């Protein structure tokens, strides 16, 4: 059996806003920062904006095309697709609708409800 040189589990956490105002953002920040404390995990954050990130988390800025509005979600998803494909992650954990992920956690409901 061939072992990886770095036997840590490589995790990508995907969220447009990290650690900023909001319950979903805070949940994602708590989870990611706590995972980064374990030596067995190599945690990477893919976000457009962030606050309060552990120094043990690698940060990758993802652009968002904000105008016209309908392009914001699709542009974020496309940029994520391109960036995470290069890194060979064991787990891609997303908190946003993207094209490919191993685990999706969606924190929102429509505000009209």
Please state the three-class secondary structure of the chain as a single string.
Answer: CCCCCCCCEEEEEECCEECCCCHHHHHHHHHHHHHCCCCCEEEEEEECEECCCCCCCEEEECCCCCCCCCHHHHHHHHHHHHHHHCCCCCEEEECCCCCCCCEECCCCCCCCC
The answer, yes or no, to whether residue 23 has pLDDT greater than 80, is no
Q: Residue 109: pLDDT band by 50, 70, 90 thresholds?
A: low
For range 30-47, the mean pLDDT = 94
The answer, yes or no, to whether residue 3 has pLDDT greater than 80, is no
Picking from 1-15, 28-42, 87-101, which range would have the lowest pLDDT averaged per residue? 1-15
Determine the distance from the C-alpha atom of residue 94 to the mean position of all C-alpha atoms in its chain, rounded to a whole number. Answer: 5
Question: Cβ distance 13 to 80 under 8 Å?
Answer: no
The whole-number pLDDT of residue 1 equals 46
Residue 32 backbone zone (phi > 0: left; psi -120 to 50: alpha; other: beta): alpha
Q: How far apart are CA 49 and CA 100, in angstroms?
A: 21
Q: Which CATH architecture has domain 9-104?
A: 3-Layer(aba) Sandwich (3.40)
The answer, yes or no, to whether residue 63 has pLDDT greater than 60, is yes
- Domain segments of the chain as ranges: 9-104
- What mean pLDDT, rounded, does the chain reach? 87
């Amino acid at each position: 059996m061939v072992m990886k040189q770095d036997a840590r589990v490589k995790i990508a956490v995907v969220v447009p806003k990290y650690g900023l105002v909001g319950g979903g953002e805070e949940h994602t920040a708590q989870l990611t920062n706590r995972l980064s404390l374990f030596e067995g995990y190599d945690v990477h954050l893919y976000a457009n904006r962030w606050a309060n990130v552990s120094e043990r988390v690698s940060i990758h800025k993802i652009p968002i095309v904000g105008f016209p509005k309908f392009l914001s979600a699709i542009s974020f998803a496309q940029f994520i697709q391109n960036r995470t494909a290069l890194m060979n992650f064991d787990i891609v954990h997303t908190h946003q609708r993207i094209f490919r992920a191993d685990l999706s956690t969606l924190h929102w409901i429509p505000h009209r409800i």
